[in-house]
Amino acid sequence: MKREKKAALPPPDQRFAPSTVAAEIATRLINELPVKFGGLAAAHILYLTKVGGITVQGERKAGKIEKVTGQKKYLSHNAQNNNEGWDYIVTLDADIWSAATDIIKERIIFHELRHALHDEKEDGSDDWKLVGHDIETFIDETERYGSGREMLDVIQSVSMASKKE
């Protein structure tokens, strides 16, 4: 039996695309849940989808968030973020994102936003931080969305489909 070749990935600089849907979900969550996310209203957050998957420690993930600092922050200055650079970048697995239902998309964004934390430095300037999980996920995420089995099913089916290609 002849095995089909995987479709070639685009070059690394062409694997990313902005996600207005993710940005809209995040804005809604930040406004709806000011106690959890209110400090993020001032953050400059870029939402991207990525073709080719996101793997963290060998495991496929629906998304990841990174705090932008130093050279990346300097290089990210543009009109979209008032020439201040991005504070965070949320990257979403394009295949999982496109296979996800609206509620799973919201859960993915909720989860990534929970990693972001706003603090204030002594001089009054913003101090953006990343925080780890309460457990393998966040307690308030499971309270809001349930166990997450549906999201894991989507991730698993997308991972299996990509292995078959």
Predicted confidence (pLDDT) per residue in 94-135, tens digit: 999 999 999 999 999 999 999 999 988 899 888 899 998 776
Q: What is the pLDDT of residue 62?
A: 94
In DSSP terms, 91 is beta-bridged to 48, 64
Give me the domain span that covers residue 105. 12-164
Number of domains in the chain: 1
- Tell me which of 130 and 141 has the higher pLDDT: 130
pLDDT beyond 90 at 3: no
User: For residue 101, is it within any domain?
Assistant: yes
pTM: 0.80
User: How would residue 49 be classed by pLDDT, with cut points 50, 70 and 90?
Assistant: very high
Q: Is the CB of residue 76 less than 8 Å from the CB of residue 86?
A: yes
- What's the CA gap between 71 and 101, in Å, rounded? 36
Q: Is the CB of residue 48 less than 8 Å from the CB of residue 80?
A: no
- What's the CA gap between 132 and 117, in Å, rounded? 10
User: For residue 2, is it within any domain?
Assistant: no
User: For residue 23, is it within any domain?
Assistant: yes
Please tell me what DSSP assigns to residue 116. E
- What's the CA gap between 163 and 6, in Å, rounded? 8
How far from the centroid of its chain's Cα atoms is residue 22's Cα?
Answer: 8
Domain CATH for 113? 3.30.2010.10
